[in-house]
Each structure stands twice: as C-alpha cells, then as structure tokens.
Amino acid sequence: MSGAILLSSSSTTSRSALALCSSSLNASYIFTARLMWYDKKNIFYWSTRKVLYLLKVIKEILLPPSSLLLVITVAFIMVLKGRKKTGTALAITGIFLFYLLSTELGVTILIGPLEKKYPPLKSLHFQRPYVVVLTGGANDLSHIGIEVEPSGSSTKRLLKGIEIFQSSEDAILLIAGGRGSADSPETPEALVLERLAKALGVPEKRIIIEITSRDTWENAKNLATLLKNARGPVVLVTSAFHMQRAVWCFKKLGIRVIPAPTDYRSSPITLYSLVPSAQALRDSSTAISEYLAYGWYLLTK
C-alpha cells in the first residue's frame, strides 16, 4: 500500500469500482486519503493516539461497571464518615443498578428502544445496490501469533452485508472503518473485513473499502461524495442498536439509505432474564454508550 490509499485494495479494484459509479465522479478526491493516522513516525499519529486514550479512559469511567463501582465506593465512604442514611441509600441504589444492568431484563429495557427504531429488512433483493457495511471493531491477537480478527459485531455486520450482496444484482460491497479507538489494532478494520469477505467468496473487484474513518460520522462523511452519486439504492448495514445514529449521520449529509439492521442484543423476557451475566453487563454498557454518542452527535454535528 502506498503513501496514499484507495478505498479499494488495489488499483485494478479501484478502476472496476469506478466503472460502476457515475462518470461524473472524480476518483482523485473520492478514493484518495492521507495515511497520517497510520504513520507511526508522524506527530499527528501520536498526538491523536494520546487524545483517544484519554477519551477512552473517560468513557470507561462514565460507563458500567466503573461508574457503578465508583457510586458504591462513594456510598461506603459516606457511611464511614457518619452519613449512614444517605450512604446506605446510595449503596442500595448502586447495587440495584449493578444487578439490573447485569441482566437480560436490563439490556432489553435499555437497548430495546434503539433496536426497534428500524425493523429488520424484509427483502434482500435490490438492483445495483451499494451495500455499506460499517465495521464494529477488531481483535488484535498478535501476542499469540494470530492475525487481527474481526470482532463478533463486525462479523455479524459483514455476514448480513454479504447476504444482501449475494441476493442482489450488480451489487457493490462498501466496507467502512479505520481505527475506532486507541486500543484498536494497527490494521484498519475495513481491511480485516475485506480479507474475510474475499475468503467468503466476494469478488475483490466488487469490494470498495474506506480505512481512515474513526467513528460513525466519519464513515458517512468519507463516503458522502460517492454515495450521493450512486446509481442504485444505498443499503446500510450495522448493528441494530447502532442503526439510529448511523442513519442520522448519513441523512445529515444528504444520503438516503435503506436500513438493514443486524446483531440484535435484546431478547424476550423470561425468568432467565433475571439472572445476571457478564455479557448482559457488557451489552448494557454498549447501550448506554450509544445513547451518549447519539446525544453528543445531536449537540455537535
């Protein structure tokens, strides 16, 4: 890969993809991006990395379980200092929230409204669609000698995208995502998913990748020019809890999309929904993070 990268993985792929786009598009400004973010010798790389680490620490403090442990700790200190009534009430509240967010009931209460915003896609068949898959993380396994692998969320999104791709005619698969956080692997997430897509039979010439975006807004912004001139429908694939914010970003930039949600986290309420689990706590944290991110976008974009 050279100093400037194409959204596709090779010049041949780029030309094939461009042939399927509007002839009025200028490849030089649609498909070219600077690799400053990935150049370890560049000061921008390190300064941005420090900022992302700081943001990640702040985010983890605000989200469960850290925030709940902080509440319980404060409550314990208050009890020790003689404020037993207030401290006890705060401790009970913290413990109850810790329990609730660790259950499927808590997950469904939090993430259900996000997932219900857009219903599952009924028809997977489209004419000349641009199937846009937003990445959802990758796992760095270099410490055990294994290549970077897509996260479970990324894999589910890609599989849904490929399902739509294979059910449609003359489809193009767009995979968008760079490094979403400070602890993300050095390899851009879109490259990781592209490798899996090709292994699953998607022709390389029908894949376009965007590898510099760090969040949902940049996903939409970096693809805006291409998708505004798309000849076919734009089908957007991401996790159901993330779809509302993703659609909002694309609409904000003037891009009409057809939502194709996947990776559902909510579940029917049963007695088992009251049993706490580590996975439920993670999903609750994901839901709270999504609400905070969407609220931030509404205030700043």
pLDDT at 50 over 80: no
Judge if pTM exceeds 0.95. no
**So what's the pLDDT on residue 94?**
96
Residues 176 and 127 grouped into a single domain: yes
Domain span at residue 85 reads 47-115+268-300
207 and 151 both lie in a single domain: yes
Q: Is residue 213 part of a domain?
A: yes
Over residues 220-240, the pLDDT tens digits come to: 999 999 999 898 999 999 999
How many other CB atoms are found less than 10 A from the CB of residue 88? 14
CATH number for the domain spanning 9: value is 3.40.50.620
Structure tokens at 122: 């009924």
Query: How many domains, in total, are found in the chain?
Result: 2
Would residue 42 count as lying in a domain? no
Q: Both tokens of residue 111?
A: 């993430």
Claim to verify: residue 59 and residue 84 sit in the same structural domain: yes
Q: What is the mean pLDDT of residues 2-18?
A: 39
Q: Is the pLDDT of residue 17 over 60?
A: no
- Mean pLDDT, residues 26-45: 39
Quick check: is 41 in a domain?
A: no
Q: How many CB atoms lie within 10 A of CB 213?
A: 25
Domain for residue 39, yes or no? no
C-alpha–C-alpha distance, residues 87 and 81, integer Å: 9
Which residues does 55 contact at the CB level (< 8 Å), separation at least 6? 182
Both 220 and 85 in one domain: the answer is no
Check whether residue 234 and residue 281 sit in a common domain.
no
Same domain for 102 and 30 = no
* The pLDDT value given to residue 182: 60
pLDDT tens column, 155-174: 999 999 999 999 998 999 99
154, 189 in Cβ contact below 8 A? yes
Residue 244 lies in a domain: yes
Weakest mean pLDDT among 27-36, 39-48, 125-134: 27-36
Tell whether 187 is covered by a domain.
yes
- pLDDT bin (cut points 50, 70, 90) of residue 179 is confident
Helix, strand, or coil (residue 55): helix
Q: Return mean pLDDT, the chain.
A: 85
**Cα–Cα distance between 164 and 132 in angstroms, integer?**
10
Q: Say if 69 falls within a structural domain.
A: yes
How does pLDDT run across 238-277, given as a tens digit for each residue? Answer: 999 999 999 999 999 999 999 999 999 999 999 999 999 9
Do 188 and 237 belong together in one domain? yes
127 and 83 inside one domain: no
One domain, residues 9 and 158: yes
Residue 92 belongs to a domain: yes
Say whether both 233 and 96 belong to one domain: no
CB under 8 Å to 23, separation ≥6 — which residues? none
User: Would you state the pLDDT for residue 173?
Assistant: 98
At 81, phi and psi to the nearest 5?
-90, 10
Q: 103 and 53: one domain? A: yes
Tell whether 203 and 158 lie within a shared domain: yes
Neighbours of 115 (CB within 10 A): 22
